[in-house]
């Protein structure tokens, strides 16, 4: 079983910042991040992960001012570079958008992080979803869904090419001969495409992993095609094993046409566990968190998840209205709309269900109950592991590492020691050979 942990500063529950188990200033508290990253490493988890956007999240100001999530946080590559110095084994993964970066920037940053960390870097390849981001980069509107994925595919091709600029043994540093590098082992990319023109080479040696691990989270048709071609870890958010199995088979089934084997990609669904020694204690924990949610925040979170829709003019106790076409995550919108229709949920009911972990799967139970669930998905082709979303940080991560991981280890489902020194080795992924060798 592969295990990542997704760090939302105070935790994934929308009211986590109000919880006694949270670090209230987490977004700008380096000591907090060092503590939780070291906790994840103590649990032998594969990697930590930071989502990112290049804008303050847009929402009704009454809701926004009552939320700590995606408001003001560290830039993730800077943060991961610091965390590399406080850890030895755990993978360090973060988002960098293909819409509001240049390929050379991303290739250089993640190659540098891979060297700094000794081969533990991972890039979450995303296309962004908000007009708010576009408006910080000279555009009025975000790229269309089709355009941003076409751009992302080309972007990934350029980044991978730049990582191969130098062969692994290019740098001789031979004092006697005076030859610093072998000129035959330096390669110029000279890429010209529809969206990018990049000469190269990259001014960073080939990363220790060959290429930092590429992560992707798209569930639309275009997103799954991108993941099948380039991703080595896929994050997803199915809300049942049936949906998980369909996604797993669909995504892995696409890989052959790109010359890739199913084991070249690890599928990690998101899971937000509320764990306690007894079921009643776990249920009380969740209820305590739910009671902290301000209804105006829940309404705004639902609107964001549904594609940045303003729901403030609708009756909270009425049905979900028909929604306009969205440029955001189409798969999430479809899944939540179907849930609301089939279960006849009001906006309030759907909002309270979604707001807790922003539409991700919340599982409440004992360590044994949660391990049963994880084992079922792992052994029945629903997952290769999980991306853990602690509801409250640091409290929920401590509970998961102290209670659930020992149970997984007891069952022989999870490592007791790291297998290697790089993220690739620990994930069981092969090191890519340079295109020039």
Tell me the DSSP string of 385-396.
Answer: EEEE--SSTBHH
DSSP string, 125-137: EE----HHHHTTT
The DSSP letter of residue 69 is T
In this predicted structure, what is the pLDDT of residue 373? 98
Tell me the pLDDT of the chain averaged across its residues.
93
In this predicted structure, what is the pLDDT of residue 113? 98
Q: What are the φ/ψ torsions at residue 360 (nearest 5 degrees)?
A: -85, 165
Higher-pLDDT residue of 53, 248: 248
Nearest to 402 by CA among 367, 374, 368: 367
pLDDT tens digits, one per residue of 114-150: 999 999 999 999 998 788 898 999 988 888 888 999 9
Burial of 96 (C-beta count, 10 Å sphere; 0-12/13-18/19+): buried
In this predicted structure, what is the pLDDT of residue 326? 63
Residue position matching structure tokens 């001012």: 65
Q: How confident is the model at residue 186 (pLDDT cuts 50, 70, 90)?
A: very high
Where is average pLDDT lowest: 307-311, 354-358, 409-413, 429-433? 354-358
Q: How confident is the model at residue 1 (pLDDT cuts 50, 70, 90)?
A: very high
Q: What is the mean pLDDT of residues 298-315?
A: 83
CATH numbers and ranges of domains, the chain? 2-144+201-278+359-427 (3.20.20.30), 294-355 (no CATH)
Q: How confident is the model at residue 329 (pLDDT cuts 50, 70, 90)?
A: low
In this predicted structure, what is the pLDDT of residue 297? 85
In this predicted structure, what is the pLDDT of residue 304? 79
Give Cα separations from 431 to 58, 96, 154 (angstroms). 40, 22, 22
pLDDT tens digits, one per residue of 334-350: 878 888 888 989 988 88
Where is average pLDDT lowest: 261-275, 294-308, 360-374? 294-308
In this predicted structure, what is the pLDDT of residue 360? 74
**316: which residues sit within 8 A by CB, 6+ positions away?**
295, 299, 346, 347, 348, 351
Element (H, E) at 81: helix 76-84
In this predicted structure, what is the pLDDT of residue 71? 82
Q: How confident is the model at residue 301 (pLDDT cuts 50, 70, 90)?
A: confident
pLDDT tens digits, one per residue of 193-227: 999 999 999 999 999 999 999 999 978 899 999 99
Element (H, E) at 38: helix 30-42
359, pLDDT greater than 70: no
- The vertex-145 CA angle with 154 and 237, nearest 5°, equals 95
Residue position matching structure tokens 């570079």: 81
d(CA 337, CA 314): 16
In this predicted structure, what is the pLDDT of residue 338? 86
d(CA 226, CA 251): 10
DSSP string, 173-226: EETTTTEEE-GGGB----EE-SS-EE----SSPPPTTSSPEEEE---SHHHHHH
Instruction: Please report, rounded to a whole number, the percentage of residues in the chain having pLDDT higher than 70.
Output: 97
pLDDT tens digits, one per residue of 45-71: 999 999 998 988 777 788 888 888 778
77 near 106, Cβ under 8 Å? Answer: no
Q: How confident is the model at residue 356 (pLDDT cuts 50, 70, 90)?
A: low
Omega before 399 within 30 of 0, i.e. cis: no
Nearest to 50 by CA among 105, 98, 116, 5: 5
d(CA 206, CA 219): 31
Element (H, E) at 115: helix 103-117
Nearest to 52 by CA among 5, 4, 111, 96: 96
Q: How confident is the model at residue 313 (pLDDT cuts 50, 70, 90)?
A: confident
Q: How confident is the model at residue 154 (pLDDT cuts 50, 70, 90)?
A: very high
* Long-range Cβ contact pairs of 405-414 (< 8 A, separation 24 or more): 405/3, 405/43, 405/44, 405/45, 406/367, 407/367, 407/368, 407/370, 407/371, 408/1, 408/371, 408/374, 408/375, 411/371, 411/375, 413/1, 413/371, 413/374, 413/375, 413/378, 414/1, 414/3, 414/44
Nearest to 153 by CA among 266, 243, 81, 231: 231
Higher-pLDDT residue of 87, 328: 87
């Amino acid at each position: 079983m592969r295990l990542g942990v997704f760090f939302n500063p105070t935790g994934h529950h929308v009211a986590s910042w109000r919880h006694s188990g949270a670090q209230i200033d987490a977004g700008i508290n380096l000591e907090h991040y060092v503590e939780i990253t070291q906790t994840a490493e103590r649990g032998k988890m594969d990697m930590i992960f930071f989502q990112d956007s290049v804008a303050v999240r847009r929402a009704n100001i009454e809701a926004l001012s009552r939320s700590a999530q995606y408001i003001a946080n560290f830039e993730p590559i800077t943060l991961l570079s610091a965390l590399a110095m406080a850890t030895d084994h755990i993978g360090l993964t973060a988002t960098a958008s293909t819409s509001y970066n240049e390929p050379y920037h991303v290739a250089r940053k993640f190659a540098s992080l891979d060297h700094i960390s000794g081969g533990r870097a991972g890039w979450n390849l995303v296309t962004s979803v908000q007009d708010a981001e576009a408006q910080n980069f000279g555009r009025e509107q975000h790229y269309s869904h089709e355009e941003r994925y076409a751009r992302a595919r080309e972007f990934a091709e350029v980044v991978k090419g730049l990582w191969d600029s130098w062969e692994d043994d290019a740098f001789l540093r031979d004092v006697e001969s005076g030859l610093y590098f072998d000129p035959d082992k330096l390669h110029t990319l000279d890429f010209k495409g529809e969206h990018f023109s990049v000469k190269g080479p990259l001014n960073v040696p080939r990363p220790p992993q060959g290429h930092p691990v590429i992560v992707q989270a798209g569930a639309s048709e275009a997103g799954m095609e991108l993941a099948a071609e380039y991703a080595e870890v896929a994050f997803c958010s199915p809300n049942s094993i049936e949906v998980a199995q369909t996604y797993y088979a669909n995504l892995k089934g696409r890989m052959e046409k790109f010359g890739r084997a199913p084991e070249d990609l690890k599928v990690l669904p998101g899971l937000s566990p509320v764990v306690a020694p007894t079921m009643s204690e776990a249920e009380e924990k969740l209820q305590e968190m739910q009671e902290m949610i301000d209804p105006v925040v829940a309404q705004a979170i639902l609107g964001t998840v549904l594609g940045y829709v303003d729901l403030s003019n609708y009756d909270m106790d009425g049905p979900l209205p028909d929604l306009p076409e969205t440029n955001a995550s189409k798969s999430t919108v479809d899944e939540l709309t179907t849930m609301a229709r089939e279960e006849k949920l009001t906006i309030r009911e759907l909002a309270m269900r979604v707001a807790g972990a922003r539409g991700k799967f919340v599982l409440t139970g004992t360590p044994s109950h949660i391990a049963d669930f994880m084992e079922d998905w792992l052994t029945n082709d629903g997952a290769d592991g999980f991306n853990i979303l602690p509801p409250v940080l640091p409290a929920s991560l401590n509970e998961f590492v102290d209670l659930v991981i020992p149970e997984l280890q007891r069952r022989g489902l999870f490592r007791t020691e790291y297998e290697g020194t790089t993220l690739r080795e620990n994930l069981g992924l092969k090191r890519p050979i340079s295109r020039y060798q």
